Amino acid sequence: MAAIIDGFHKLGPKDPKVVEVGNFAVHEYNKQSKSKLKFEQVFKAAAYDFAEIKTEYALIIGAKEHHAFNKFHAVVLENNNSGRLLIAFKKINEGL
- Alpha carbon separation from 30 to 11, 17, 36, 69 (Å, rounded): 24, 20, 6, 15
pLDDT in tens, 49-84: 887 789 999 999 999 998 899 999 999 999 988 899
User: CB neighbours of 2 closer than 8 A, spacing ≥ 6?
Assistant: 9, 10, 11
pLDDT computed for residue 96 by the predictor: 47
- CA of 51: how far to CAs of 11, 17, 41, 55, in Å? 18, 19, 29, 9
Mean pLDDT within 39-46: 97
Check pLDDT > 60 for residue 4. no
The predicted pLDDT at position 67 comes to 87
Position 49 scores a pLDDT of 87
Give Rg (Cα) of the chain.
13
**What's the predicted TM-score (pTM) here?**
0.86
Stretch 21-47: mean pLDDT, rounded? 97
Torsions phi, psi of 46, nearest 5?
-145, 155
